[in-house]
Structure formats: structure tokens, C-alpha cells
Amino acid sequence: MAKLYFRFGAMGSGKTIDLLKVAYNYKERGQDVVLYTAEIDNRYEVGKITTRIGLQADAKTFNGDTNIYREVKSIEPKPACVLIDEAQFLTRKQVLQLTDIVDILDIPVICYGLRTNFKMRFFEGSLPLMEMADKIEEIKTICDCGAKATVNMRMINGVPVTSGPDILIGGNDSYKAVCRKCYKRLTHHVPGIEE
């Protein structure tokens, strides 16, 4: 029975490596997979899923208008699995489409992405994935202090910032994975005050 999976983690946790490993395992067994990534992610090349260590694979892209269910339904032969990178950029409607791929087409869907933005708020696609996924798994990484990193702290010229647009595409130059305690310390959080 097919399921919808959401595998999330802070930046640098190895989400993309895990996605490419899963794709390789399917292909090694002669099974086709469909890979998607967000069209907005242009850090390396649009239509490429690329790890920080340089491994990459071609992928279909999605934006807010993409009907992923319709695209996957039209693929022949039917893929064994759908893998989605940068799933935080999905819309609620697209997450519902993923549930249809699972429930109607009986194809497992595995989504990889961030849970929250640098303001510690859910991304548009992450909240419905947390609500609707059959299985949720955290891919862990650690903060400099040794605790589990859960926050993607935005950095501008090496300085932590807490304001700005919700979406800013970037890698190690723009973000640092930290624990909540270090995030508060480094951003000079004032206790009892919501930002």
C-alpha cells in the first residue's frame, strides 16, 4: 500500500543525499522514479537536484501552478515512486494532489524539505505535509554546540538576521543550522516578546 512520506530536516542534514540514494536504489532494481524539485531553487541549475558535495540528478520542476497529479498520471509506464526535493515550496493544493497520487494511483510519494523558515514558522508546503503525510521522519543534524539543529538561521555577511522576505534561496552562505537555544542567543532574542 502506497504512502505519503515527509522527511524534513534543517539545512545541511543530508535530505538531498537521501533522496538521491532512494532514487538510485529504485533504479538499481530496474524501477522508474519521477524526481521533482522547485523551479524557484536556482542555486545550482534549474531542473537539477544537487547535493552540497556535487551529486546531482535531472528532475522535473514545479511551481505554484503545476498539477503534479495530472503530470504523474500521464506517465507511462507508471513510475514506482515519486520523489520531491524542496517540498517546502509546494502549495496546499499540491500536497492534496500528492495524496491523490498515493491513494488513487497507488504510487508512493517521498517528500524532502524544510519544516520551518528562518523565522521558525511553517513553510507553505510543510504545514499540510505535517498534517497529511502517512509517515513523518526527521533527518537530523547538529548545531555547533552539539545539540540537535532545528532552526535555519539566516545570515547576511556572516551576521544573523531575523527580518526580511520569508523566501531567500541560498546555501551555507545564507543559512546556518542551529538549535533553538543558540538561535535565541545569536539573534539576541528578548524573552517573552514575540517577533
The set of catalytic residues is: 86
Residue 124: closest CA among 96, 151, 153: 96
* Local structure of 111: helix, strand or coil: strand
Q: What are phi and psi of 103, to 5 degrees?
A: -80, -35
Beta strand extents in 109-169 (DSSP E only): 109-113, 135-138, 151-156, 159-161
Contacts of 157 (CB under 8 A, 6+ apart): none
Dist. CA 116–CA 106, nearest whole Å? 29
CB–CB of 82/109 below 8 Å? yes
